[in-house]
Amino acid sequence: MTTDTRSVNQTITSDPSSSCDVELAAGPWEFDLVAGYGPGASEDDVIPDPVVRPGQLPAAYQRMDEEDLHARIRAAKESLGDRLVILGHFYQRDEVVRHADFVGDSFQLANAALTRPDAEHIVFCGVHFMAETADILARPDQHVILPNLAAGCSMADMADEDSVESAWEQLTEIYGTEPDASGRQPVIPVTYMNSSAALKAFCGRHGGIVCTSSNASTVLEWAFERGQRVLFFPDQHLGRNTAKAMGIELDAMPMVNPRKPLLGQTEQVLRDAEVLLWPGFCSVHKRFTVAQIEAARAQHPGVKVVVHPECPMPVVDAADAAGSTDFIRKFVAASEPGDVIAIGTEINMVNRLAAEYPDRTIFCLDPVVCPCSTMYRIHPGYLAWVLDGIVEGEVRNEIVVDAEVATHAKVALERMLAALPK
């Protein structure tokens, strides 16, 4: 087996150069004080009451020894039994994931919660849009809890409802609202799962649909059956990579700027467009580069490179394979002992795969440790605090999506579920 010092557990240390954000090295509680997302930041957020703002976790939980926190979490889980389900995203830190009943991507987790009908409390150790989706799909009597309200998603925040509405108005002025001779609408909105409930509802109201990184091409095919063009938000990279793989020319995928007249394009470019891309991106995945892939190939001849489609197009083109977190997991599972695999996705998932397959050399393409810094805000201290609340009869940090928003968002999610690959 090849020995690679990067193969297991690239972690953040107190050395500021150990990670992409110097503030991460300062420790969890100092990082928690750094201004972040916070309650009320999302469109139509219903602000929990009582609300604990980032940095305000009771001191007892901040001071508690980590083993005591784990013991407390285990005790709360045992006492709550089937009344509780804990969901952990692939990108969540290990100290939290070890307590999860299910580990997966956002949509797998929302569906996993549905398999636990007795769970009155769904604790989502992910980010805000994931908890919103779980609330949309959950029964009205189930409570969805996000342990730290500062766990948002910077990509999801790059498309807000006002900007999308304003872009939509400009497009409607150009294209009109009448379908063509084959009955296809001028434009269909498609939102990535990584978006606020308000934008999922926008898609529900305008004949649009939600996609995940696993089913983006199926969803685009669905949209092209019903529309002449697609407005894809918020992730430009997933939109571009998926459309390119479907044979759409780059010239037919202009990026829109909602703050500019004609969205920063000419009318002709907008008329000729097949996919209109929103300028959003993931701060973790945009760090991967072709140079990193070349360095991995030079250092490990025969290395297999697999990346997430939120990476920029040249990175996806230079990799051996690209796909969702579940695709990456299966790619590694299908490899052979002794294989060397370089992965372009979030570090916690890469470290977990490296630990799960010790007979392979698995490392992250990015030599600098760069976790999803918003998901990182869910510390075992926050998990213990919300679980203690449930035991004491108090629901803390509940995520409640406005009923009307939820109704329309569910329409777009159900269209996704009904869209089948060709």
| Residue 52 makes contact with ligand SF4 by CB under 6 A | no
Residue 206 annotated as binding site: no
| Residue 346 makes contact with ligand SF4 by CB under 6 A | yes
Query: What angle do the packed helices 380-391 and 66-80 form, to 10 degrees?
Result: 30
Contact code string over 110-139 relative to ligand SF4, x by CB under 6 A: -----------------x------------
| Residue 369 makes contact with ligand SF4 by CB under 6 A | no
Task: Select from 154, 241, 335, 351 the one that contacts ligand SF4 (CB under 6 A).
Answer: 154
| Residue 279 makes contact with ligand SF4 by CB under 6 A | no
| Residue 273 makes contact with ligand SF4 by CB under 6 A | no
| Residue 20 makes contact with ligand SF4 by CB under 6 A | no
| Residue 322 makes contact with ligand SF4 by CB under 6 A | no
Task: Select from 155, 256, 270, 413 the one that contacts ligand SF4 (CB under 6 A).
Answer: 155
**Half-sphere exposure in the Cβ direction for 130 (13 Å, CA):** 35
| Residue 405 makes contact with ligand SF4 by CB under 6 A | no
**Half-sphere exposure in the Cβ direction for 404 (13 Å, CA):** 4
- Residue 346 CB, shortest distance to ligand SF4, in Å, is 5
Residue 115 annotated as binding site: no
Contact code string over 207-246 relative to ligand SF4, x by CB under 6 A: ----------------------------------------
| Residue 284 makes contact with ligand SF4 by CB under 6 A | yes
Neighbours of 215 (CB within 10 A): 22
Nearer to ligand SF4, 191 or 194 (CB): 194
Q: Which residue matches tokens 């009943």?
A: 101
Nearer to ligand SF4, 269 or 313 (CB): 313
Contact code string over 76-95 relative to ligand SF4, x by CB under 6 A: ---------------x----
What's the CA angle centered on 248, arms 243 and 251, to 5 degrees? 110
| Residue 195 makes contact with ligand SF4 by CB under 6 A | no
Q: Do the beta carbons of residue 384 and residue 60 sit within 8 Å?
A: no
List, as one string, the DSSP characters of 388-413.
Answer: HHHHTT---SB--B-HHHHHHHHHHH
Q: Which residue matches tokens 């203690």?
A: 388
Nearer to ligand SF4, 111 or 283 (CB): 283
Nearer to ligand SF4, 39 or 371 (CB): 371
If we measure between CA atoms, which residue out of 297, 342, 346 comes closest to residue 325? 346
Nearer to ligand SF4, 69 or 197 (CB): 197
Residue 192 annotated as binding site: yes
Q: Which tokens hold the place of 274?
A: 């097949």
Residue 370 annotated as binding site: no
d(CA 160, CA 198): 8
What's the CA angle centered on 340, arms 339 and 346, to 5 degrees? 125
Alpha-carbon distances, residue 150 vs 53, 126, 234 (angstroms): 8, 11, 20
- Residue 46 CB, shortest distance to ligand SF4, in Å, is 21
Nearer to ligand SF4, 155 or 256 (CB): 155
| Residue 348 makes contact with ligand SF4 by CB under 6 A | no
List, as one string, the DSSP characters of 125-148.
Answer: ES-HHHHHHHHHHS-TTPEEE-S-
Residue 195 annotated as binding site: no
Strand partners, 361: 340
- Residue 236 CB, shortest distance to ligand SF4, in Å, is 12
Q: How far is CA 393 from the centre of its chain?
A: 30
Task: Select from 146, 153, 319, 342 the one that contacts ligand SF4 (CB under 6 A).
Answer: 153
Alpha-carbon distances, residue 229 vs 175, 189, 243, 250 (angstroms): 10, 9, 11, 14
**Half-sphere exposure in the Cβ direction for 355 (13 Å, CA):** 9
- Residue 154 CB, shortest distance to ligand SF4, in Å, is 5
Burial class, 249, CB count within 10 angstroms (exposed 0-12 / middle 13-18 / buried 19+): exposed
Positions in the binding site for ligand SF4 (CB under 6 A): 91, 127, 153-155, 194, 282-284, 346, 372, 374-375
- Residue ranges for the known binding site for [4Fe-4S] cluster are 153, 282, 372
Q: Which residues are annotated as a binding site?
A: 89, 106, 153, 192-194, 213, 282, 308-310, 325, 372
